[in-house]
């Protein structure tokens, strides 16, 4: 299957053209998101390589103004987990909710919302792009994931951050989960959001805590986070592909 050098160069050139289209596309109206299928078609490794080569590993996703905020942000996927433990926490205003952080860390721990709120935070107005072809702009405030990771101490073997959620996606009872690499985890706009549009994060959008990972598609931003685990490989977790949607065939790297 190894492509020869020329083929590989042509392939890269093609992929670069795709990225140029998408960079221009960022200035388009929300309805003009024709570039989605192109991204999903391109090979994951090349997509990731090219995006990082062109925009830089830590380049920021575009940010918007208050006037751009969508009046009716769409809630997608789960809108309220029916898991009994989640329901109980929700009815108690999430006072008893704790974020568990474990795996390849020096100091595993459990964090209340109050504890997360005192970590260094970031507020950002960004565009959420769903693979289904819709986009909404919202304002998010949350703890920087980098700050939480520094607090627990990431062990050198760790390569991915895995998020386990409260909601089951289908009759199988399989819970939503998702993973990102450490470069994404340390990106300045990668936050654990507890506020949306200046209010406590509402349940349809992932209360009490959801990830904002602004340079990837919506499915890479887990809602209803209960536990975070640092791992070396996600091969043994659930379906082995790094996330609920990846187990159904979506790309693991969903850069936009
Ligand atoms: N736990 C959980 N996280 C999730 C989902 C979900 O169903 N459950 N849906 C994903 C998808 S496909 C999208 S587009 C966004 C939707 O976020 P929103 O409801 O704030 O629009 O959340 C993502 N994270
Ligand atoms: Mo989505």
Listing DSSP states for the chain in one string gives -PPPHHHHHHHHHHHHHHHHHHHHHTTS-TT--TTHHHHHHS-HHHHHHHHHHHH-TTPPPP---GGG--TTPPP-S-SS---HHHHHHHHTTTTT--EEEEESBSS-EEE-HHHHHTS-EEEEEEEEE-TTS-EEEEEEEEEEHHHHHHHH-B-TT--EEEEEEEEE-STT-PEEEEEEEHHHHTSTT-EEEEEETTEEPPGGGTTT-EEE-TTB-GGGS-SSEEEEEEES--TTSTTSSSSHHHHTT--S--B-
Number of neighbouring beta carbons within 10 Å of residue 122:
18
- Number of domains present in the structure of the chain: 2
Residue nearest to atom 19 of ligand 1 (CA): 75
- In angstroms, what CA-CA distances link 22 with 48, 75, 119, 253? 14, 24, 34, 16
Q: What confidence score (pLDDT) does residue 43 get?
A: 60
- Whether residue 252 lies inside any domain: the answer is no
Residue nearest to atom 24 of ligand 1 (CA): 222
- Whether residue 254 lies inside any domain: the answer is no
Same domain for 21 and 81, yes or no, is: no
Same domain for 77 and 40, yes or no, is: no
140 CB near ligand 1 (under 6 Å): no
Number of neighbouring beta carbons within 10 Å of residue 98:
16
Residue nearest to atom 20 of ligand 1 (CA): 205
Same domain for 218 and 153, yes or no, is: yes
User: 94 in the Ramachandran plot: left (φ > 0), alpha (ψ -120 to 50) or beta?
Assistant: left
* CA of 212 relative to ligand 2 center, distance in Å: 13
Ligand 1 atom nearest the C-alpha of 225 is: 1
Same domain for 32 and 98, yes or no, is: no
Same domain for 27 and 87, yes or no, is: no
- Whether residue 255 lies inside any domain: the answer is no
195 has which bridge partners? 141, 200
Q: What confidence score (pLDDT) does residue 178 get?
A: 98
Same domain for 136 and 44, yes or no, is: no
Same domain for 41 and 115, yes or no, is: no
Same domain for 212 and 170, yes or no, is: yes
- Whether residue 253 lies inside any domain: the answer is no
- Whether residue 256 lies inside any domain: the answer is no
Ligand 1 atom nearest the C-alpha of 75 is: 19
Same domain for 109 and 198, yes or no, is: yes
Per-residue b/e over 158-181, b at no fewer than 16 CB within 10 Å? bebbbbbbbbbbeeeeebbbbbbe
Same domain for 98 and 17, yes or no, is: no
- Enclosing domain of residue 23: 2-51
CATH of the domain at 136: 3.90.420.10
Report the predicted TM-score, pTM, of the whole model to 2 decimal places: 0.83
Q: What confidence score (pLDDT) does residue 172 get?
A: 81
Residue nearest to atom 23 of ligand 1 (CA): 219
- Whether residue 56 lies inside any domain: the answer is no
Number of neighbouring beta carbons within 10 Å of residue 102:
15
* CA of 222 relative to ligand 1 center, distance in Å: 6
CA distance 214 to 217: 8
Same domain for 70 and 125, yes or no, is: yes
Residue nearest to atom 15 of ligand 1 (CA): 218
Q: What confidence score (pLDDT) does residue 229 get?
A: 98
Looking up tokens 């024709």, which residue turns up? 34
Q: What confidence score (pLDDT) does residue 174 get?
A: 87
223 CB near ligand 1 (under 6 Å): yes
Q: What confidence score (pLDDT) does residue 170 get?
A: 80
- In angstroms, what CA-CA distances link 221 with 76, 92, 178? 11, 25, 8
Q: What confidence score (pLDDT) does residue 1 get?
A: 37
Same domain for 122 and 192, yes or no, is: yes
CA distance 2 to 8: 9
**Tokens standing for 141?**
């405030």
- Whether residue 22 lies inside any domain: the answer is yes
pLDDT, tens digit only, all 256 positions of the chain: 344 444 444 444 444 444 444 443 333 344 444 444 444 545 666 667 677 766 677 899 999 999 999 999 999 999 999 999 999 999 999 999 999 999 999 999 999 999 999 999 999 999 999 999 999 999 999 999 999 999 999 999 999 999 999 999 887 888 999 999 999 999 999 999 999 999 999 999 999 999 999 999 999 999 999 999 999 999 999 999 999 999 999 999 999 8
Half-sphere exposure of 93 (CA within 13 A, CB side): 3
- Whether residue 37 lies inside any domain: the answer is yes
197 CB near ligand 1 (under 6 Å): no
């Amino acid at each position: 299957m190894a492509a020869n050098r020329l083929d590989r160069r042509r392939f890269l050139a093609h992929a670069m053209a795709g990225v140029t289209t998408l960079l221009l596309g960022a200035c388009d109206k929300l309805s003009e998101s024709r570039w989605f299928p192109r991204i999903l078609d391109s090979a994951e490794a090349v997509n990731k390589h090219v995006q990082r080569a062109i925009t830089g590993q830590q380049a920021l996703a575009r940010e918007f103004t208050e006037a751009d905020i969508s009046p009716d942000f769409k809630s997608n996927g789960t809108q309220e987990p029916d898991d009994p433990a989640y329901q109980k926490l929700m009815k108690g205003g999430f006072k008893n909710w704790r974020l568990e952080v474990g795996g390849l860390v020096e100091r595993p721990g459990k964090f209340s919302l109050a504890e997360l709120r005192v970590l260094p935070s970031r507020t950002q107005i960004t565009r959420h792009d769903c693979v289904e072809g819709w986009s909404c702009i919202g304002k998010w405030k949350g703890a920087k994931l980098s700050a939480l990771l520094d607090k627990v101490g990431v062990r050198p073997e760790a390569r991915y951050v895995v998020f386990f959620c409260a909601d089951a996606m289908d009759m199988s009872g399989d819970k939503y989960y998702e993973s990102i690499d450490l470069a994404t985890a340390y990106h300045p706009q990668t936050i654990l959001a507890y506020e949306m549009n200046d209010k406590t994060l509402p349940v349809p959008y992932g209360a009490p805590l959801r990830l904002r990972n602004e340079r990837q598609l919506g499915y890479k931003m887990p809602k209803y986070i209960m536990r975070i685990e640092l791992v070396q490989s996600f091969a043994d977790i659930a379906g082995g592909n790094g996330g609920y949607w990846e187990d159904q065939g979506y790309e693991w790297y969903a850069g936009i």
